[in-house]
Amino acid sequence: MSWLTAEQALHLLGTKSQTLYANVSRGRIRAKPDPADTRRSLYFADDVKRLATRHAGRRKTEALAAEAIQWGDPVLPSALSTVSSGRLFYRGQDATILAESAALEEIALLLWDMKRPLRLEEGETQRRPPSLNAAFSALAERATSDLPSLGRSLPALQREAESVFSTVAQALAPGASGLPLHQRLAVAWDRPDAADLIRRCFVLLADHELNASTFTARITASAGATLSAATLSGLSTLTGPLHGGAWQSVRSLIARAAAIGAEEAVRSYLSEGRPLPAFGHPLYPDVDARAEALLHCFTLPPLFARVRDVGEQLVGERVNVDFALTAMVHAYHLPQDAPLIIFALARAVGWLAHAMEQATSGRLIRPRARYVGPPVQ
């Protein structure tokens, strides 16, 4: 994520200074003081690029579409979640406020638009560790035997979503039924003191607009595939290092800081031309509201705190939720793969919500490719 000087912004927009300032005052372009010179302002690059694209009426439709799908304008209508003015909302409700007291099960009812209590299937009573492999296997087994999602009523899909979510929960939060999922997971890890932080993470990570894994789940559902197949698609995408696997980059940064010091570690990343992992987020130009909500609830381990302070000073961006989640896992001595386990169980709620919304729309997601290969003979 980057901020532009006035000169850079004006070059992209092709307008005069007065037009730039007018767009700032109308909330179309976000601005902040330049840390190097508070008399000047910096302008949020994505806002500037988006506005420049809208004004470029002479540009071809396919070029605009290609840019829009990469952190551009929304490409699908959805009533589930949105990021607006730096806050995350689930069906119009602020997720950070919900995280103060709600459990993941309540967020499922909200996002799935269910008016009755959630009924999760009975899980195994024997003690075993949470397993991402078990989740993959169980979903893959269901994907070819469950009924397709297309042509089914919302109540029927909601009942199936409960069953699919139960399958994921049994793999990622094994334990006796009756306990809320955050408590089941805390008990499975023998860290009951982490239960409330896990609950907050669940709520804050349940959905996040059309992120990569959610878009994948919607594409799968749009073809009429089973809800379990859509969830499996989302889970597969989540494992990527640019998505749910971002915690591994944070751990690498912390390990380097432990070896050579926080400032040297940050400077080495920047000197190598590598972006500092988990600093900044394209949808949150000031601060990731999810990270802020988590970081207020526990004490950062000293090394994480030093890396955050140095990184924010040198990069000019605040840490995001990937940093906060990895720090929380470290602070509570949870297993190494805990960030992905927490993320996957929480986001399964969002994948199922989007899959149901897409399936009931009856529309296939089928973009066209802009061919750039050898000339057609």
Confidence of residue 51 (pLDDT cuts 50, 70, 90): confident
Q: Are residues 31 and 139 in the same domain?
A: no
Per-residue model confidence (pLDDT) at position 127: 73
Q: Which residue has the higher pLDDT, 45 or 70?
A: 45
The residue range of the domain holding 46 is: 3-68
Q: Which residue has the higher pLDDT, 62 or 235?
A: 235
Q: Are residues 329 and 368 in the same domain?
A: yes
Q: Are residues 30 and 154 in the same domain?
A: no
Q: Are residues 206 and 337 in the same domain?
A: yes
Q: Are residues 161 and 231 in the same domain?
A: yes
180 found inside a domain: yes
Q: What is the spatial distance between Cα 298 and Cα 287, in angstroms, rounded to a whole number?
A: 18
101 found inside a domain: yes
Confidence of residue 57 (pLDDT cuts 50, 70, 90): low
Q: Are residues 239 and 95 in the same domain?
A: yes
Q: What's the whole-number mean pLDDT along residues 55-63?
A: 55
* Number of domains composing the chain: 2
Confidence of residue 124 (pLDDT cuts 50, 70, 90): low
| Predicted confidence (pLDDT) per residue in 299-352, tens digit | 999 999 999 999 999 998 999 999 999 999 999 999 999 999 999 999 999 999
Q: Are residues 170 and 34 in the same domain?
A: no
Q: What is the spatial distance between Cα 337 and Cα 185, in angstroms, rounded to a whole number?
A: 13
pLDDT above 90: percentage of residues in the chain? 69
Q: What's the whole-number mean pLDDT along residues 360-371?
A: 88
Q: What's the whole-number mean pLDDT along residues 72-88?
A: 86
Q: Are residues 112 and 237 in the same domain?
A: yes
306 found inside a domain: yes
Mean pLDDT of all residues belonging to the chain: 91
Of 44, 68, 92, which residue sits at a domain end? Answer: 68
Q: What's the whole-number mean pLDDT along residues 151-161?
A: 96
Per-residue model confidence (pLDDT) at position 60: 53
| pLDDT of residue 184 exceeding 80 | yes
| Predicted confidence (pLDDT) per residue in 7-27, tens digit | 888 888 888 888 888 888 878
124 found inside a domain: yes
Q: Which residue has the higher pLDDT, 316 or 109?
A: 109
- Neighbouring-strand partners of residue 31: 43
Per-residue model confidence (pLDDT) at position 242: 87
Q: Are residues 62 and 90 in the same domain?
A: no
| Predicted confidence (pLDDT) per residue in 217-248, tens digit | 999 999 999 999 999 999 999 999 989 999 99
Q: Are residues 155 and 49 in the same domain?
A: no
CATH number of domain containing 84: 1.10.580.10
Of 68, 93, 110, which residue sits at a domain end? Answer: 68
128 found inside a domain: yes
74 found inside a domain: no
Entry pTM: 0.84
Of 47, 68, 89, which residue sits at a domain end? Answer: 68
Q: What is the spatial distance between Cα 347 and Cα 238, in angstroms, rounded to a whole number?
A: 9
187 found inside a domain: yes
Highest mean pLDDT among 6-15, 175-184, 249-258 belongs to: 249-258
Q: Are residues 62 and 173 in the same domain?
A: no
Q: How far is CA 232 from the centre of its chain?
A: 17
Query: How long is the chain?
Result: 377
The amino acid sitting at 347 is R
| pLDDT of residue 68 exceeding 80 | no
Confidence of residue 63 (pLDDT cuts 50, 70, 90): low
Q: Are residues 139 and 187 in the same domain?
A: yes
Residue ranges of alpha helices (H) inside the chain are 6-13, 17-25, 45-55, 61-68, 95-98, 104-111, 132-143, 154-172, 181-188, 195-205, 212-222, 227-238, 246-260, 262-271, 289-295, 302-315, 321-331, 338-361
Confidence of residue 58 (pLDDT cuts 50, 70, 90): very low
Q: What is the spatial distance between Cα 237 and Cα 211, in angstroms, rounded to a whole number?
A: 10
Q: What's the whole-number mean pLDDT along residues 274-293?
A: 92
231 found inside a domain: yes
Closest residue by Cα to residue 210 from 81, 68, 322: 81
CATH number of domain containing 19: 1.10.1660
Per-residue model confidence (pLDDT) at position 182: 97
